[in-house]
Homo-oligomer: A and B are copies of this chain.
Amino acid sequence: MDWEKIATELSTDTPSKIILLVMDGLGGLPRNGKTALEAANTPHLDKLAAKSVCGLSDPVFMGITPGSGPAHLSLFGYDPLKHTLGRGILEALGVEVEVGRNDIVARGNFATHKEGMITDRRAGRIPTSENALLCEKINAFLKSREGPRIQMYPGKEHRFVVKFSGKNLCDALSDADPQKENKPRTYTQPLDNEAQRTAIMVNSFLDDLTEFLKDSDPVNTVLLRGFSKHPSLPSMQDLFKIRPVALANYPMYKGLAKLVGMATVDVGPEIEDLFDTLDEIYLDYNFFYIHVKKTDAAGEDGNYDAKKVAIEETDTYIPRLVDKNAEVLVVTSDHSTPSLLKSHSWHPNPFMLHAATAMPDGIDRFSERTCSQGYLGRFQAIYAMPLMLAHAGKLKKYGA
């Protein structure tokens, strides 16, 4: 199915508005018979469900646990099997590194080696503050060094992002990381001919940096993984003829949104800030992606109760969404994060769509199991975008 091609042909620019509320990691598994969503008191989500059409969506396909990248791409109407986002680019987005068309980024670890053998892949998980100081020192060194522009960006503990800037760089590079300890330092290998020059450049950087750090302790080398360029995705404007904006408190989700051409705005750290900002910009766009992180963070922490609280907190703002009277209002998730698993999972997302043209299906409780009885059935999340566009009157007829 070439949905992108079909979308380009069928989509039309209309003033109708679409609100997509993503409660990250919403789906879960039961504790004492109830998931966090089932246990939560959600009068407003339930009231909305009663007027909506419901279903369950699989982010990629059944059984596949997606990262945040493919899970969001799919919701944004992009085939997650066709468009892949390197780990480097996602990490870079997460620390707010601007990645241009001539840049390559990789994520890195500060590490410890002894006579060329990696003895600690995380250099004892150095404190984040030390990481920041180290990056500053290295950046000063890199400025004085010959060769292409290279910049380090500190992350948490031992993690960082490195950006190489220059013409004709190629990201077809293997990881410069032995993956296990007590193995020798590893150089990157070019994965095709075009990447040879870039591999030499990266390896020379690795040697120079290791030389520069030789008397430092515990960090005396670095490991690099997930080399990636800025992916060239067609924009949502071009594909769907919409004016999209992202409301998200976390940099990675703003970054993901930018990759598909969404505008981004500054939003405060609280759930309430998302809805306050929506009020301010509501007239300026016609597609609103609103990202709630707390549900996923609680799931990742294995904290069932915190997840339930995050759901209940989000529920209190649903009336503010409903009051917008957007032509289409969808509440769903990018992927499930059961607190039982403390991680993303392959379980499907509860999904509800409210629109004048939606078939009410009698589901009056928004949850994983009630949505499985909905009129939309179980579907791949890439169909969320055609559904939203159709219900917003933005898709012409296919064929005569």
Contact = CB atoms under 8 A, between A and B. Distances in A.
Interface of A: 1-3, 6, 10, 29-30, 56, 60-70, 80-81, 84-87, 90-91, 226, 338, 340-341, 343-347, 357, 359-362, 368-369, 372-379, 383, 385-390, 395-400
A347 B390 CA distance: 10
Contacts of A376: 62, 378
Most chain B C-beta atoms within 10 Å of own C-beta, residue among A62, A90, A376, A398: A398
Contact of A64 (B6, B341, B360, B377): B6
Given A30-B359, A70-B399, A377-B372, A383 B61 contact: yes
Contact of A397 (B65, B80, B359): B65
A400 B81 contact: no
A85 B399 CA distance: 7
Contacts of A360: 30
Contact of A395 (B6, B63, B91, B338): B63
A345 B358 CA distance: 11
B62 A383 contact: yes
A90 to B, nearest CB: 4
Contacts of A369: 359, 361-362, 375
A379 B64 contact: no
A9 to B, nearest CB: 11
A62 B341 contact: no
A4 B119 CA distance: 37
A63 B29 CA distance: 30
A68 B400 CA distance: 6
The 5 A-B pairs with the shortest beta carbon distances in the complex, nearest first, are A63-B386, A377-B378, A67-B399, A70-B399, A62-B383
Contacts of A338: 357
Contacts of A67: 397-400
Q: How many copies does the complex hold?
A: 2
Contacts of A344: 397
A66 B387 contact: no
B6 A398 contact: no
A177 to B, nearest CB: 15
A362 B372 CA distance: 12
**A contacts with B: majority SS:** loop
B390 A64 contact: yes
A63 B357 contact: no
A372 to B, nearest CB: 5
Contacts of A61: 1, 3, 383, 386
Contacts of A400: 67-69, 85-87, 90-91, 226
A109 B146 CA distance: 70
9 contacts: A56-B377, A63-B395, A69-B400, A80-B398, A338-B357, A341-B357, A362-B369, A372-B374, A378-B378
Nearest to A387: B63
Contacts of A389: 63
Contacts of A383: 61-63
A399 B30 CA distance: 26
A379 B62 CA distance: 9
Contact of A399 (B6, B66, B340, B386): B66
A27 to B, nearest CB: 9
B359 A345 contact: no
Nearest to A93: B400
Given A65-B390, A383-B61, A80 B359 contact: no
Given A63-B383, A63-B390, A359-B30, A346 B378 contact: no
Given A360-B30, A379-B378, A395 B81 contact: no
A84 B61 CA distance: 23
Contacts of A362: 369
A85 B397 CA distance: 13
Among A63, A226, A340, which residue has the most Cβ atoms of chain B within 10 A? A63
